[in-house]
Chains A and B, each alone.
Chain A
């Protein structure tokens, strides 16, 4: 359930297709995930999971796998 929501958030925020959203997808390695898109992604994740991410989270969120680790801190289970 969380995985689907996470994938949907990435797809929506970055304008990707589902199959691109894998754990090893990394920030700044594709044109769609640059620093501007990163802020859109953060807002999308906050809305989707109803959480407030802090500045450390934003800096640390360098891949889909990292996003899961960070969301787990806010009790989102994968």
Chain B
């Protein structure tokens, strides 16, 4: 006999609230096993009941309860590009989030209800408070106002900027709508707020290409010694420029004076439960999430310091079955609970994307 949907919802809520009361980067392996694993198992059951597509896919898995986080079932993230997977009725759909479609194909579609959307904000705030504190800081956004304009499609980039905007005040866009720097806005921001703590946010590629590169070309430096830079979105577009995290941080410091730089890893399919870079340069799984690396061929769990395909797990989504996803990103887990920065949890780095595998039919072979 399966538990009723209402009971599962109540059970999930209780487990989520318990997790929310814990320190974000303070849960060790045993605590995660006790608090996160049962919650993720509840989510599997909940989505099995509410999403026929998910239940069908899971039909081939054994339904026994998982004994560890890496034995939970997972979906390939690209399924969200191929089919509609949602666990709420049409009338409860609050927002449809579309991923930027970095692989150049159909964008992923993620269905949000109000509860999931609110939970995303709550979890994002809890995680970001760990590096920013609770105070909202003057915020320089390395993007153009048009990206989040009311007419803009609700892209993952817009969602990212809006989510982060909660942390700022006096929001200033550093770029014009044609992606050239808005020099007067930038200098006014620096003059007014530069002597105190400020928040700078942008997507990694945007920060490099449209801000740092523009500063370099103009041979101009800014002085934001108490600034914190948060950036995300991946290094893929910077690969051909040979820009790695070390070079990125050095350039940031040289041109802006900012020394507190945190990359974070996340995806449109799991908004909220992001993985934050610690003071030692590693991404950490917060209390709300976990990460597993798997051999790309066998999908067996790989050991520390071995490259694998990253599986990400999130306590957040109830409106779509995205709580356990196999990404197309390659990464390396470096350890668990023993990072020199003091944060608990697994810590890792992302090394790139799985080389694109194209399925070709007869009609595609013509050159």
Contact = CB atoms under 8 A, between A and B. Distances in A.
Contacts of B117: 28
Contacts of A54: 134-136
Nearest to B163: A35
B148 interface: yes
A39 interface: yes
A55 B167 CA distance: 6
26 contacts: A28-B114, A35-B162, A36-B150, A39-B165, A39-B166, A39-B171, A52-B135, A52-B136, A53-B136, A54-B135, A54-B136, A55-B125, A55-B128, A55-B129, A55-B134, A55-B135, A55-B166, A55-B167, A56-B125, A56-B134, A58-B125, A58-B136, A58-B166, A59-B121, A59-B166, A62-B118
Contact of B136 (A28, A35, A55, A62): A55
Contacts of B118: 62
Given A28-B114, A55-B167, A36 B134 contact: no
Interface of A: 28, 35-36, 39, 43, 46, 52-56, 58-59, 62
B contacts with A: majority SS: helix
Contacts, number: 37
Interface in B92-136: 94, 114, 117-118, 121-122, 125, 128-129, 132, 134-136
Interface residues of B, number: 21
Interface of B: 94, 114, 117-118, 121-122, 125, 128-129, 132, 134-136, 148, 150, 162, 165-167, 169, 171
A43 B94 CA distance: 25
B111 to A, nearest CB: 16
B254 to A, nearest CB: 30
Contacts of B136: 52-55, 58
